[in-house]
Chain A
Amino acid sequence: MRDVAVIGIGMNKWGELWPSRIRDLYVEAALLALDDAGVDKIDSMYVGCMSSGLLVGQEHLGALMADYLGQAPVPATRVESACASGGVALRQGFIEVASGMSDVVLVGGVEKMTDIDGGSTTYALATAADQEYEGFHGVTFPGLYAMMARAHMARYGTTREQLAQVAVKNHENGAKNPRAQFPFTTTLEGVMTSTMVADPLRLMDCSPVTDGAAAVVLSTVEMAKKLKRHPLVKITGSGQASASIALHARADLTWLGSTEAAAKTACKMARCTPREADLFEVHDCFTIAEIMVLEALGLVEKGKGGPATAAGLTALGGEFPVNASGGLKAKGHPVGATGVAQIVELAEQLRGDAGARQVKGAKRGLAQNMGGTGASATVHILEVES
């Protein structure tokens, strides 16, 4: 297996991007990444996207994006794994370069979510659950995570304030990210008095509906060294795992087994433990999710994610800085783009280019992306060569 480098990164400003079509979003981010890498020729490309069919009525994104990026006839493949679509697309690109099949691969993620009404968006997202045995009954994603939150609170004593602390921390980081959808700070009270969405989760516990895209260019290390445009950032570990699609089919409703398994694979490849990373971009689609991910990665003991967050463990200056980008919560969550944007953030941090939110001296970063209630998960480890 060959070593794989991240040679280009690109991400547009996220938000409600009314004038942009889904193809514009992807192509903008892809051009930024290609320009950043200084290449215009790629061997193949991936498009991570969850639900363009339901959200904008468009499937067949691989060919569409290759066409509009001016890259046809390169092989172009869409990858779907619900909210882990971006992370899984990245892993496909990584495998393609590592295997020797291709030397330069573009991996982008995209979602255009604001073209339909709220109820329809809620429905589209809910198709990431078991459509016949969860969705059929009227469950929503906030609802599923709310049930995980309530189980976690009942079992471990996690408090409402601790959940809110995740949002407060991520908004504090997001306020320093010029590309974030909601670059403002908030307070515990602001979170805890926001509109109830699915008890006990409120609006400010939830990641938003976002239009956006992110892209990275992967290549062999040899090529990266030849280009020499940026500090050399390598993907040293990649892991992916699955779990039951239905939350109710899991023996423990408070444990993200697929994240634990994906981290194990990625860390084995990178010869490190999650605790040895200097920063973390994790899938905080809801505040409870970040708390459960801390536990699944082994950064804290089972059930201790809440108190650890409240104690500042995961703040920008803490022992394990989590979601310096603002996370899904503040940066936004265009679902198919999220897993790729995490890599954009890690690469920028490892290059030392993250400005006000820079984690000082960051040498190794870990990205965790998941789909559904954790039925799919990817973990990637990035390291910068000094």
Chain B
Amino acid sequence: MITARYWREMPQRYRYEAGKCVKCGYVAFPPRLICPVCKAREFQTVTLANTGKIETFTVIRVAPSDFEDEVPYAMAVIKLDDGVQVTAQVVDVDLDELKIGDRVRIEFRRISQDGEAGVIFYGYKFVPA
């Protein structure tokens, strides 16, 4: 039962909320308690850019148990337009045509579920921009 663990991350997974260091401007996603750059401890909530480009990617063919039915699927490190990098799936795309530098935008999708009877996990994926 990982309901609480999922619920806790909703601001990030649903609304892409990050913490911006009030002192040096570092954007922490997910939010942190102390800035890794300047050690300040005050952050303001900001929303991540919803478009970006693919820094690197792979197509997963051997998946963890919860994702076995989804193969093959693309995973990428995406650099958002505000400079923050995130890891997520890239969907609605021809896997053979994916390349570094492709522009993508965020969409709200199902990520996985806690078994057939458990909570459904939603979050961000990316689609071609």
Give A contacts to B, CB under 8 Å: 117-120, 122-123, 126, 130, 132-140, 142-143, 146-148, 150-151, 154, 195-201, 246-249, 253
CB distance from B22 to the nearest CB of A (A): 20
Q: Give bound CA distance, A142 to B62, whole Å.
A: 9
Tell whether B68 is near chain A: CB-to-CB under 8 Å: yes
A-contact 0/1 string along B101-115, CB 8 Å cutoff: 000000000011000
**Chain A: which residue is nearest B78 at the CB level?**
A248
Among B61, B66, B87, the residue within 8 A (CB) of A248 is B87
Given A137-B75, A137-B123, the answer on whether A119 and B61 have CB atoms closer than 8 Å is: no
Q: Are B60 and A140 in contact (CB under 8 A)?
A: yes
A195 — which chain B residues lie within 8 A by C-beta?
Answer: 61
Q: Give bound CA distance, A122 to B61, whole Å.
A: 12
A147 — which chain B residues lie within 8 A by C-beta?
Answer: 56-58, 75-77
Q: Are B59 and A137 in contact (CB under 8 A)?
A: no
13 more A-B residue pairs beyond the given contacts A137-B111, A196-B61, with a C-beta to C-beta distance below 8 A:
A119-B63, A119-B68, A122-B62, A123-B66, A136-B13, A140-B64, A147-B58, A150-B56, A151-B77, A198-B58, A200-B58, A246-B87, A253-B77
Q: Give bound CA distance, A286 to B78, whole Å.
A: 22
Q: Which of B71-104 contact A (CB under 8 A)?
A: 73, 75-78, 85-89, 100
Given A136-B121, A249-B85, the answer on whether A199 and B61 have CB atoms closer than 8 Å is: yes
Q: Give bound CA distance, A151 to B112, whole Å.
A: 27
Minimum-distance CB pairs A-B, first 5? A119-B65, A146-B58, A123-B64, A151-B56, A138-B67
Q: Are B75 and A248 in contact (CB under 8 A)?
A: no
Tell whether B25 is near chain A: CB-to-CB under 8 Å: no
Q: Give bound CA distance, A253 to B79, whole Å.
A: 12
Q: Are B58 and A137 in contact (CB under 8 A)?
A: no
CB distance from A149 to the nearest CB of B (A): 8
Most buried by A among B56, B57, B73, B100: B56
B111 — which chain A residues lie within 8 A by C-beta?
Answer: 136-138
Q: Give bound CA distance, A196 to B85, whole Å.
A: 26
- 23 of the cross-chain contacts (CB-CB < 8 Å) are A122-B62, A123-B65, A133-B12, A133-B29, A137-B123, A138-B66, A138-B70, A138-B75, A138-B89, A139-B75, A140-B63, A142-B58, A143-B58, A143-B60, A143-B75, A147-B57, A147-B58, A147-B77, A150-B57, A154-B56, A198-B59, A198-B60, A248-B87
Q: Are A150 and B100 in contact (CB under 8 A)?
A: yes
Give B contacts to A, CB under 8 Å: 5, 9, 12-13, 29-30, 55-68, 70, 73, 75-78, 85-89, 100, 111-112, 121, 123, 125
Q: Give bound CA distance, A195 to B67, whole Å.
A: 19
A139 — which chain B residues lie within 8 A by C-beta?
Answer: 60, 75, 87
B30 — which chain A residues lie within 8 A by C-beta?
Answer: 132-133
B56 — which chain A residues lie within 8 A by C-beta?
Answer: 147-148, 150-151, 154, 253
Q: Are A126 and B77 in contact (CB under 8 A)?
A: no
**Chain B: which residue is nearest A154 at the CB level?**
B100
CB distance from A212 to the nearest CB of B (A): 21
**Chain A: which residue is nearest B85 at the CB level?**
A248
CB distance from A142 to the nearest CB of B (A): 7
Q: Give bound CA distance, A58 to B97, whole Å.
A: 44
CB distance from B61 to the nearest CB of A (A): 5
Q: Give bound CA distance, A139 to B77, whole Å.
A: 11
Q: Give bound CA distance, A53 to B63, whole Å.
A: 20
CB distance from A155 to the nearest CB of B (A): 9
CB distance from B26 to the nearest CB of A (A): 11
A118 — which chain B residues lie within 8 A by C-beta?
Answer: 62
Among A122, A142, A146, A247, the residue within 8 A (CB) of B65 is A122
**Chain B: which residue is nearest A197 at the CB level?**
B62
A150 — which chain B residues lie within 8 A by C-beta?
Answer: 56-58, 100
